[in-house]
Amino acid sequence: MELYSQAIARFQTLLAQARAADLREPTAMSLATVNGDGQPSVRTVLLKHVDERGFVFYTNTTSRKGGQLGVRSRAALCFFWQPLMQQVLVEGAVAPVGNAEADAYWATRPRDSQLGAWASLQSQPLVERAVLERRYAQYEREFANRPIPRPPHWSGYRVIPDMIEFWSSRPGRLHERERYYREQDRWQRMLIYP
Ligand SMILES: Cc1cc2nc3c(=O)[nH]c(=O)nc-3n(C[C@H](O)[C@H](O)[C@H](O)COP(=O)(O)O)c2cc1C
């Protein structure tokens, strides 16, 4: 198997272990983006799909992270599964998912999450909570008794890895680090001191 396929399969195995562990959000990952000045910012999002095309999350495209990705389409991800004592880092370019893919995922979301996506002007100042609740109720009325369409400002992004690093806890702080990385279109693998 090609090294890259190996790395993705290895990630999928770990994710399955995390799902089997007693974790409230096993797919939670830290997502780092940068603004035009190089200032990083980081927040938690949920991984919704992963395969050899990359790591997909969904969000409001007019959010702070969405704005940053529009200017600088690169990101880093960090998974830390405490019960497994494993960390995975991913770095790469970011591409928007296609409309059909976003629609398919949107359709699986519970109705209240769909309404929330319409109601929230993610990352914008909110004068008071009641305003958000009013917006939610307004969309609830607007979409009563019919399927809720995907908002134009809500979609997914795919992080296309050029680096995936596995960190695994070992006694005496002699942790294992194994990095898969792309160099001139070929995937390589190396061990790194912990
Ligand atoms: C466990 C957890 C899961 C989250 N999942 C998502 C998600 O999948 N998509 C999303 O847009 N925000 C998610 N959030 C909220 C983000 O952390 C963040 O507050 C929001 O996306 C706005 O970020 P921004 O202002 O940097 O764009 C999640 C937060 C937590 C704590």
| pLDDT tens for each residue of 76-105 | 999 999 999 999 999 999 999 999 999 999
106-140 pLDDT, tens digit each: 999 999 999 999 999 999 999 999 999 999 999 99
Element holding 127 (H helix, E strand): none
49 in contact with ligand 1, CB cutoff 6 A: no
pLDDT at 105: 98
Mean pLDDT across the chain: 97
The closest alpha carbon to 52, from 157, 158, 167, belongs to 158
Number of domains within the chain: 1
- Extract the tokens encoding 166: 């596995």
pLDDT at 33: 98
pLDDT at 172: 84
Instruction: Please compute the mean of the pLDDT values over residues 151-174 and round it to a whole number.
Output: 95
Q: Which of 173, 177, 186, 189 is catalytic?
A: 173
Question: Would 123 be classed as within a structural domain?
Answer: no
Nearest CA to ligand 1 atom 5: 45
pLDDT at 173: 83
Atom of ligand 1 nearest to the CA of 31: 17
Question: Would 58 be classed as within a structural domain?
Answer: yes
33-83 pLDDT, tens digit each: 999 999 999 999 999 999 999 999 999 999 999 999 999 999 999 999 999
pLDDT at 152: 97
pLDDT band at 1; cut points 50, 70, 90 = low
Catalytic residue status for 173 = yes
Structural domain boundaries enclosing 62? 3-109+152-192
Question: Would 31 be classed as within a structural domain?
Answer: yes
Cross-strand bridge partners of residue 95: 158
Question: Would 124 be classed as within a structural domain?
Answer: no
121 in contact with ligand 1, CB cutoff 6 A: no
Report the C-alpha gap between 174 and 194 in whole angstroms: 6
**Residue found under tokens 């399969």:** 9
Question: Would 128 be classed as within a structural domain?
Answer: no
- Extract the tokens encoding 188: 């390589």
CATH number for the domain including 184? 2.30.110.10
Using the 8-state DSSP alphabet, how is residue 76 labeled?
E
